[in-house]
Amino acid sequence: MNSSLGKTMRLHLLSSCAALVCVTAVLPAKAAETTPPVVSQSVAGNPLFSKWTAPFEAPPFHKIKSEHFTPAFDHAMALHAAQIKAIARNTDPATFENTIVALERAGADLARVQRTFWALASSATNDDIRAIQLAMSPRLAAHYSAIALNKDLFDRVSSLYQAMDSLDLNPEQARVLERTYTGFVRAGAKLEGDDRKRLSQITEELASLQTTFSQNVLKDAESFALVLETEEDKAGLPASVLSAAAQAAADRDLDGKHVVTLARSSFEPFMTFSTRRDLRQKVFEAWTNRGDNDNAYNNADNIRKILQLRLERAKLLGFDNFAAFRTANTMAGSPEAAQELLTKVWAGAVAKAEREADLIAKVMAEEGVTHTLKPWDVWHYGEKARVKFYDLNEDAVKAHLSLENVLKAQFAVAERLFGLTFKERNDVPVYHPDVRVWEVISAEGEPIGLFYGDYFARPGKRAGAWKSALRVQHKLDGEVKPLIMNNCNYNKPAPGQPALISMREAEVIFHEFGHGLHGLLSNVTYPSIAGTSVDYDFVEFPAQIYEHWMREPAIIQEFAKHHETGKPMPKALLEKVQKAGNAKSGFDNVEFIASAFVDLAFHRLTDPDEIAKLEVNAFEDKILTKAGMPDTIEMRHRSPHFLHSFASELYAGGYYTYMWAGVLDNDGFAAFEESGDIFDPMLAKKLYEYVYSAGNSRPAMDAYVGFRGREPSVEPLLINRGLKPAPEGQ
C-alpha cells in the first residue's frame, strides 16, 4: 500500500501498497460503479466516463491514455463535491439512509478514476503519469480535506452517532456509523477556526511531499544499472541469474548484455552468488543509498518536512506525537505496546543472528578469507553456510519452484479452504502484456470477481509486492463484484524459459494472494468496511497466515516440480528445505525490527525544532546503537527509501504491524496444526466467516477470537522463527 493521493470519503488515506510491502489502496467503491457515471461535455468520449463493457465491467485499459486522467479527475471531483453538498445541506433530519448510506454511495465516479489511475501510476508509469500524480496529489488532498472538515456534514453524522442506541441498527450498520464518526474525528472534524484551516493545509502539503518521496525512490533506483561487461564480472552467477540479467538488459535496449538492477529479485540473487566482492559492495551501496545520494532525488529534506507536518497535525488533534495518533485506532492501542512487542522479539533475534554469524565466520575461515564480515558479504557467505551446515543449495530449490506451479498452488489452497476455482480469462483488457486475469468462482458455482496478477519487474513499475483493488465488493444496491490485483517484481525469464523463484519469493506470492482473498471473499453490505478496510495491525493477518500453506510439506510435494523433468521435489531436498527454514531468521528479524524501531522513533518525536535540525543518518545510528544493532546487519529499509514510512501514512509509525500480525498468523495457523488437518473444514469455515469475508464489520480482536476461540499468544511466533526453543516433546 503506497503513495498517498488524499483522503477517501471513509477518511482513510489513499495508498498503493508501496514496498510496501504489502500494500492496498483504500478507496470508496459504490454501487454507482456498476452503471455509467453522469457525463458532461468536458469528458464526452473519455473512456473513464464511458460504459465499461468488458467482462465484470473491468476498466478498458486498452483505450485509456494519460491525457484522459486530468479532465476525468476534474469532472469526478466536481460530481463528488455536489453529492456531498446535497447530503450536508439536506433539510430533512439526519437518518442512517439519507446521511450514512448517502455517503457510502457518494464519490463512485471519483473512486473508479482514482483506482484506475493508481494501477498505472504503480505498475506502468511514465513521465506524463508522474506529472499528473504530482499535480493531483495536493488537489485531491484538498478535496477530501474539505469533506472531512465540512461542519454541516459532520453535524449530521455526529447527531446519528450520539443517538445510535435508539436507531434500531443492525450490527453492520452500527459498525459503519461508528467507523464513519471516528474517521471524521480523526480527520479533524471537531477542530475550529484557524486550526481547521491549518489542518487542511497540512493535508495538502503532506500529499505532495509523500508523492515526491515515492517518485524520488523510483527514479533513484531506475538510475542504477550495473552492466556485467566481462566473464569475470559474472563470476559465480548461476544460469538462472544470468538469464534474468540478460532479460533485464534487453528491457533496457542492451541486447547481448547482462544487467543487475535494484529490483529485489535482481539484487538478492546477485548478492548471494556473485564472487566479485567489489561488485557486491557496489550493488549493496546503491541499494541501501536509494534516496540518500547527492543528486536531485535525495529525500532527507522531504523526511524532515513530512515528520514536522505529521507532528503538527497530531498535536492539533490532541496527541503528543504522530505515533500516538497512528496507533490509537489499532489493536495495539499505543506506541508503547508496539515497542514492547518489538523489544520482546528483539533479544531472541539478536541472539539467533549472532549464532548465524558464527556459522558464517567458520565458512569464511575455511576459505581463508581474512576480511571482516560486512553487510554486502552476508548473503554470499550466508548461502555458503546454508549449503555447508544444511546441505541446501538455493539453485536446487528454485529449479523446483516455477512461478506457474506456485500460482497453481495458491489457487489449490484457496479451493481446499474455501471451495474457490479460478478460470483464466484472455478477454479482459490489461495495461501490460505481462498481466494475467482469472475469473474467481465460488463453491456454489457463482462468479465472485476477477483476480489480476502482474508478477514481473520492468521499468516504470515500482519495487516491492502489493495488493490493490480496481473495485471493492459491496451489496448496497445489488451485488458489486470485486476486481483485485496482485503485483510482484520477479525477474522475467528469457522467451521460452520458465520463471524460477526462491522459496521466500513463493511465500511472497502466497502473502499477496492472502490479501487478494481478503478482497475477493469480502461479503459485506457497505463499501467502507469491505475487504481490507480493517485495523492497520490486523490487515496483514489474512496475508501472513496464508503464507503458512506454502511452507507445508504436502503442498511442496504436490506443486514443487522440477522445471525440466516434472518430477516432485525429492524427499531429501524437501527435508533440507524444512530444516533450513530458519537458517537466516535471526538476520531477517533483526533487519525488520531495526526498521520498525527507527520508524517508531521518528514518529514519537515531539519537538518540531529537533526535527528541523534532524540528520537522518545520525538519527538512525543513534536508535540502532541504543538497541544494540549488530554491525554485520543493515536495517531492511533505510529511511531515505522507506516507502512504508514516508510515501504514505498507511504504515507510518506502524511498520511494527507486520510483527503484530506475525503473532496472530503463527498462533492462528497453530489451530490448524493442532487439529491434525491443515484444511480442517470447521476452522476454514471460521477463518472465512470471521476474517476473509467479514471486512471491518467487527473489531479486529473480536474477529480473531471468533476464529481462534481465544486471544493470541506470542509463543508460536518465537518458536516458529527459531527465536525460542520449542517446548519439550514438540
Quick: pLDDT tens for 520-564.
Answer: 999 999 999 999 999 988 999 999 999 999 999 999 999 999 999
Instruction: Give the span between the Cα atoms of 31 and 104, in whole angstroms.
Output: 9
pLDDT score recorded for residue 257: 93
pLDDT score recorded for residue 11: 34
Cβ burial, residue 679 (10 Å; 0-12/13-18/19+)? middle
For the cut 90, the answer to whether the pLDDT of residue 22 exceeds it is no
Instruction: Give the span between the Cα atoms of 388 and 382, in whole angstroms.
Output: 10
Instruction: Give the span between the Cα atoms of 671 and 730, in whole angstroms.
Output: 15
Instruction: Give the span between the Cα atoms of 628 and 343, in whole angstroms.
Output: 11
Instruction: Give the span between the Cα atoms of 73 and 139, in whole angstroms.
Output: 10
Angle between helices 239-251 and 264-273 (to 10 degrees): 140
Residue 60: strand, helix, or coil: coil
Strands 466-471 and 436-441: unpaired
Q: What residues contact residue 503 under an 8 Å CB cut-off, 6+ apart?
A: 397, 401, 550, 577
Flag the least confident range among 6-15, 131-140, 168-177, 669-678. Answer: 6-15
Position 2 confidence tier, pLDDT thresholds 50, 70, 90: very low
Q: What residues contact residue 253 under an 8 Å CB cut-off, 6+ apart?
A: none
Q: Are 406 and 506 in contact, with CB atoms under 8 Å apart?
A: yes
Cβ burial, residue 171 (10 Å; 0-12/13-18/19+)? exposed
Fill in the DSSP letter of residue 690: I
Q: Which residue has the higher pLDDT, 218 or 10?
A: 218
Other CB atoms within 10 Å distance of the CB of residue 162: 10
Catalytic residue from among 33, 204, 312, 512:
512
Fill in the DSSP letter of residue 372: P
| CA dist 14 → 275, 590, 622, 651 (Å) | 43, 30, 32, 12
For the cut 70, the answer to whether the pLDDT of residue 37 exceeds it is no
Q: Are 586 and 385 in contact, with CB atoms under 8 Å apart?
A: no
Q: Is the dihedral of CA 93, 98, 101, 106 positive or negative?
A: negative
| Residue 336 is among the residues annotated as catalytic for this protein | no
C-alpha count within 13 angstroms, C-beta hemisphere, residue 584: 20
Residue of 659, 652, 636, 643 lying closest to 599 (CA atoms): 652
Q: How confident is the prediction for the chain on average, in pLDDT?
A: 92
Q: And the C-alpha cell for 712?
A: 493470541
Position 23 confidence tier, pLDDT thresholds 50, 70, 90: very low
Fill in the DSSP letter of residue 493: P
Q: What residues contact residue 338 under an 8 Å CB cut-off, 6+ apart?
A: 323, 327, 332, 537, 596, 600, 654, 656, 660
Q: Are 160 and 100 in contact, with CB atoms under 8 Å apart?
A: yes
Residue of 402, 386, 576, 387 lying closest to 506 (CA atoms): 402
pLDDT score recorded for residue 121: 95
Instruction: Give the span between the Cα atoms of 500 and 404, in whole angstroms.
Output: 9
The amino acid sitting at 720 is N
Cβ burial, residue 14 (10 Å; 0-12/13-18/19+)? buried
Strands 447-456 and 483-490: parallel
Instruction: Give the span between the Cα atoms of 10 and 185, in whole angstroms.
Output: 12
pLDDT score recorded for residue 135: 95
Domains 32-207 and 393-579+658-730 agree in fold: yes
- The residue written with cell numbers 543528486 in the block is 295
Tell me the percentage of the chain whose pLDDT exceeds 70: 94
Angle between helices 69-88 and 127-148 (to 10 degrees): 10
Position 360 confidence tier, pLDDT thresholds 50, 70, 90: very high
Kindly list the domain boundaries of the chain, sorted by start residue.
32-207, 224-288, 335-372+589-655, 393-579+658-730
For the cut 90, the answer to whether the pLDDT of residue 684 exceeds it is yes
Q: Are 700 and 331 in contact, with CB atoms under 8 Å apart?
A: yes
Whole-angstrom Cα Rg for the chain: 25
Q: And the C-alpha cell for 307?
A: 515528520
Q: Are 112 and 471 in contact, with CB atoms under 8 Å apart?
A: yes
Fill in the DSSP letter of residue 725: P
What average pLDDT does range 390-409 have in this prediction? 94
Q: What residues contact residue 430 under an 8 Å CB cut-off, 6+ apart?
A: 61, 62, 436, 437, 452
Instruction: Give the span between the Cα atoms of 14 and 648, in whole angstroms.
Output: 8
pLDDT score recorded for residue 537: 87
For the cut 90, the answer to whether the pLDDT of residue 39 exceeds it is no
Name residue 484's beta-bridge partners.
451, 469
The amino acid sitting at 506 is A
CATH topology of domain 393-579+658-730: Neurolysin; domain 3 (1.10.1370)
Q: Which residue has the higher pLDDT, 726 or 126?
A: 126
Class of domain 32-207 (CATH, top level): mainly alpha
Q: Are 363 and 381 in contact, with CB atoms under 8 Å apart?
A: yes
For the cut 50, the answer to whether the pLDDT of residue 389 exceeds it is yes
pLDDT score recorded for residue 727: 54
Position 393 confidence tier, pLDDT thresholds 50, 70, 90: confident
For the cut 90, the answer to whether the pLDDT of residue 463 exceeds it is no
What average pLDDT does range 584-601 have in this prediction? 96
For the cut 50, the answer to whether the pLDDT of residue 625 exceeds it is yes
Position 40 confidence tier, pLDDT thresholds 50, 70, 90: low
Q: Is 554 left (phi over 0), alpha (psi -120 to 50) or beta?
A: alpha
| CA dist 116 → 122, 124, 431, 485, 512 (Å) | 10, 11, 10, 11, 19
| CA dist 229 → 196, 235, 239, 493, 720 (Å) | 58, 11, 16, 20, 43
Name residue 449's beta-bridge partners.
440
